[in-house]
Amino acid sequence: MKQFDVPIIYRSPLISAIKQKRRLQDKLKKDFGPTLLDFGDLKIYLARHFGFCYGVENAIEIAFRTIEENAGKRIFLLSEMIHNPQVNADLQERGVQFLMDTYGHQLIGFDELSAEDVVIIPAFGTTLEIENKLSAIGLQTEKYNTTCPFVEKVWNRAEAIGKKGYTVIVHGKPRHEETRATFSHAAASTPTVVINDLEEAKILAGYITGDLHLQDFYTSFKGRYSPGFDITKDLHQIGVVNQTTQLASDTQAIAEYLKGIVGEDRFADTRDTLCYATLDNQTAVVGLLNTPADAAIVVGGYNSSNTTHLVELCEQKLPTSFINSEEKMLSKEEILHYDFHHRQETLTRHYLPTNSPARILLTSGASCPDALVEGVIRRLAGFYGKEYMLESLITEFEA
C-alpha cells in the first residue's frame, strides 16, 4: 500500500515499531488479536488495527503539501479536514481558515473568496452544489481535493446502481459531512433517501409494504429525500450504501433487512463498498474484547463517527473512557472523558482498576495520530512508575 508523507509530529516510534512487526507477522491480516504491552503490574492490550487510515493519511499529506506550495496565498478548508482536534488546530496555526463548521454552517461567505485563493476539499468530500459554487468563483479544487478514495467508491457505486433504476438508501448520520456529500452525489443520478439506523429502515419498510400511509413518508424523512422523490414508485428497486465510518455490521444488518422486504431480485448488492479500514478497526475491537480486561480506553476526536462506534463496541463489555488526548487523564484517580450519549465531558474517579495487574484495552479512531496513542501509553505507564520501560519496548518490537 502507498506510503504517505505525514508530518513527524503525528508519528510514534513505539506504535510504528508495533505496527510494522504485526504486519510482518500477519501479512494476510487474519490475526485480529491484540498486542500486549507488559509493564508488570500494568498490562495494556493494543488493538490489532487502529489509528490513521489510508484516506486520512492521504488528506493530511495533500493539506500540508498545499500549505508549503502556496506560501503567501489565502488557504481555506471547506470544513474540518478530519475529525481530530489536534490536526485541525495544526492546520489553523499554519494559517488555514475554515469556511464552514462540521454541520455545514457558514463561517466565511463564499462571496469573500476569489479565484486567487486556495480551497481544500476535506476527506469527507463535499456536495455537488458546493463544488459548483467554488467552480463558479474560478477556484480549481481538483488539485486540493482530499476526498477519501473509499468515499468516492461509494459515490461511484451509487451512480452505477442508479443508472440501472435502483433508488439509493444511504445509511448515515444525516448531519454528517460525508453523508451530506454522498446524498448529493447519489441524488444527482437517482432517487435517494437517508436513514440513520435499523429502526428507520423498519419505518421505511412500512412504506414499501404499504403498512404505513404513503404520504406520511414526506414527514418521517423530511429533509432526507431527493427532490421529486415519489413514494408510490421510488422504493420498488433499492440498494444500500453507507457513510463509510458507520458500523459495518449495522449497514449489513440494514441491507439484509431491506433485501428481505423487497426481495433479492429487486435489491442491489453493494457489500464491496464497505470501507476496509473501518471494518478492520471494528473487527480488531471485537478481537480486543475477547481479551479478559478491567477497562477500555478509546482515543479520538469527540465528533468522530468511527471513533464513537469503537466506544459503543467497548461499552457493551467494559467500563470505557473516550478521550481525545492523554491530558484528559488527570491522574491515576481521575479522568475527564467524553460521554457521547449526552455530548459532554464528564469527570470520573477510580477509572483504573485497583487490582494487580491492571488490564487495560486500548484503541483509537481512524483520524487519531499514533503520537496521541503513545502519549496515552506513556501516561498510563507513568502512573504505575513504569515509563522507563518504553525504550526497551521499542527495541523489542524493532528486533
Residues 143, 75: Cα–Cα separation, whole Å: 13
Question: Pick the catalytic residue: 57, 80, 177, 178?
Answer: 178
Sheet order of strands, 267-268 included = 192-195, 167-171, 238-242, 267-268
Pairing of strands 118-120, 75-77: parallel
Q: What is the pLDDT of residue 1?
A: 60
Q: What is the pLDDT of residue 243?
A: 94
CB 338 within 8 A of CB 324: yes
Q: For residue range 334-392, what is the model confidence (pLDDT) as tens digits?
A: 999 999 999 999 999 999 999 999 999 999 999 999 999 999 999 999 999 999 999 99
Residues 296, 319: Cα–Cα separation, whole Å: 6
Q: Mean pLDDT, to the nearest integer, of 169-178?
A: 95
CATH of domain 8-53+277-398: 3.40.1010.20
Residues 33, 314: Cα–Cα separation, whole Å: 15
For residue 343, the number of C-alpha atoms closer than 13 Å in the C-beta half-sphere is 3
- The answer to whether 315 is a known catalytic residue is no
Class of 54-144 in CATH: alpha beta
The DSSP result for 312-351, as a single string, is HHHHTTS-EEEESSGGG--SSSEEEEEETTTTEEEEEE--
CB 144 within 8 A of CB 119: yes
Q: What is the pLDDT of residue 339?
A: 97
Q: Mean pLDDT, to the nearest integer, of 152-158?
A: 96
CATH of domain 149-274: 3.40.1010.20
Fold matches, 8-53+277-398 and 149-274: yes
**Is the Cα dihedral 28, 29, 34, 40 positive or negative?**
positive
> Which DSSP symbol is given to 231?
T
Give the global pTM. 0.91
Q: What is the pLDDT of residue 140?
A: 86
CB 18 within 8 A of CB 46: yes
Q: Where are the domains of the chain?
A: 8-53+277-398, 54-144, 149-274
Q: What is the pLDDT of residue 282?
A: 94
